[in-house]
Amino acid sequence: MATYSYFAKSLEGKEEVGEIEAGSEKEVAQILKAKGYILIKAEVVGEKKKRDFSSLFFWRRVSISEKIMFTRNLRVMISAGVSLPKALLTLSQLVRSRIFKEALLKIAQKIEKGEPLSKSLAEFPNIFSELFVSCVEIGEESGTMEESLKILTEHMEKEYELRSKIVGALIYPAMIITVLILIGALMLIIVVPKLKEVFLELGVELPPTTKFIIFLGSFLANYKFFLPFVLLFSIIGFKMILATKTGKMVFDFLLLKIPIISSLGIKSNCAFIIRTLSALITAGIPLVRSLEIISNATTNVYYKASLKEAVRGVRRGIKLSEVLKKYPHIYPLLVHQMLTVGEETGQTAEILGKLAEFYEEEVDNATKALTSIIEPVVMVLIGGAIGFFAVSMIQPMYSMLGGLK
């Protein structure tokens, strides 16, 4: 038992704040429901939430491809009649991630002691998402574990495919820009200091652009050994800024407002939310609980806020389509229309599945369009940088030759 501080509302809108002893947050919600209140927020008294910085370090994460392989193989082994502990011990030998391997071994031990699989998985939130745990829990309660694992596998495969399309569209321009920066840095460190000595010997009056390049080259040449550390700390600093509430809000706002990129951001977020909602409803998870899970899994703060509002609205009896209609800047009209049709026909999961496929195709088209736009922009930037460098270095030479006439 623990003491929870809670914030709840009645159906009439009356607010209630207080403390209550219960075994879990779910029990708090049940107690308050019996009193006519809906739980909005609950926290263990005295428990401080620790900020999770594990996402800053790539070696602390388990790839989605490994989780797909694990889920697919676990389903096959369960259907073949292999016991859960034995299946987990076998799969722990197949995974490459040390963290994943250790987690599976610990989960196998917990199951041998009689702990449910879903509860064991929930103790490793950095590996198994709330969505994953909830689907497994539904599978345990309904006796449809194989079907739940199948839904999870298909969902993760779609998510992996969606991510791959977005990353694939950005790899080429990122590589070109990286190579350009490296070549530019080498030119500034090696070539520019030598040209500086030539200009000093000739006593030529240097234009401002040449002075700037010489200054930049001298600075990089003097501090070149510190550049890798500056780059590393810049990356870590950027990720730490994104880990703050303000930094995340600004970054997400820009993703939804910058032309071209905003279209891709809206479509990819809609594809993820709709696909996940379809998977959860198909697995038998209630709509309110499904929305809570998705709101926790969604990374964009504006979509997260809209989903939390949807949770409150659906609890009050408002249709999901009506709640999302209030956010036309992040949910296109098509989402509202298709949700309305699903709610009226009772085929929400099926219609959401089709809508998710549509937006996944739209993401594919948007990534191709983004690539075709970025390539000429990158070429123009490269040409501009080379031209600026060439003119800045050649201009003093022309001035010197003009002085000899």
Please tell me the predicted confidence (pLDDT) of residue 393: 76
What is the model's pLDDT at position 86? 92
One domain for residues 257 and 111: no
pLDDT at res. 74: 92
- Count the domains in the chain: 3
In-domain check, residue 202 = yes
Cα separation, 97 vs 104, in Å, equals 11
Residue 49 lies in a domain: no
Whether the predicted pLDDT of 362 surpasses 60: yes
Is the model's pLDDT at 171 over the cut of 50? yes
Least confident of 80-89, 115-124, 201-210: 201-210
Query: What share of the chain has pLDDT > 70, as a percent?
Result: 90
Domain co-membership, 59 together with 149: yes
Indicate if 153 and 174 belong to the same structural domain: no
Shared domain check, 140 and 107:
yes
Q: Which residues of 27-60 are buried (b: 16+ CB within 10 A; e: fewer)?
A: bbbebbeeeebbbbebeeeeeeeeeeeeeeeeee
Q: Are residues 107 and 186 in the same domain?
A: no
Per the structure, the complete domain to which residue 244 belongs is given by: 165-405
The answer on pLDDT for 332 being more than 50 is: yes
Mean pLDDT of the residues in the chain:
81
**133 and 278 both lie in a single domain:** no
Q: Final residue of a domain: which of 104, 130, 157?
A: 157
pLDDT at 73: 92
CATH code where residue 136 lies: 1.20.81.30
Q: What is the pLDDT of residues 53-107, one digit of tens each?
A: 444 444 457 888 899 999 999 999 988 888 889 999 999 998 888 899 999 999 9
Q: Which residue among 99, 129, 157 closes a domain?
A: 157
Residue 284 pLDDT more than 70? yes
Residue 314 belongs to a domain:
yes
Does any domain span residue 77? yes
For 11-45, write each residue's pLDDT tens digit: 566 667 777 877 777 777 778 777 877 776 677 76
Residue % of the chain over a pLDDT of 90: 9
Q: Which position has the higher pLDDT, 135 or 39?
A: 135
pLDDT for res 9: 66
Q: Is residue 221 part of a domain?
A: yes
Residue 74's Cβ-count burial label (10 Å; 0-12, 13-18, 19+) is buried
Q: If you average pLDDT over residues 177-195, what whole number do you get?
A: 81
Q: Domain for residue 263, yes or no?
A: yes
Based on the domain organization, do 85 and 178 belong to the same domain?
Answer: no
Are 76 and 102 part of one and the same domain?
A: yes
Which of 133, 157, 181 represents a domain boundary (last residue)?
A: 157
Is residue 174 located within the same domain as residue 265? yes
Cβ contacts of 56-61, under 8 Å, gap ≥ 24: 56/236, 56/239, 56/240, 56/243, 60/99, 60/126, 61/126
Whether 98 maps to a domain, the answer reads yes
pLDDT on residue 46 = 52
My answer on whether 223 and 288 are in the same domain is: yes
Q: Are residues 218 and 328 in the same domain?
A: yes
- Residues 179 and 74 both lie in one domain: no
Residue 238 lies in a domain: yes
| CB-count burial class (<10 Å; 0-12, 13-18, 19+) for 382 | middle
User: Does the pLDDT of residue 388 top 60, yes or no?
Assistant: yes
Q: What is the pLDDT of residues 291-331, one digit of tens each?
A: 888 888 888 889 988 999 999 888 888 899 999 988 988 99
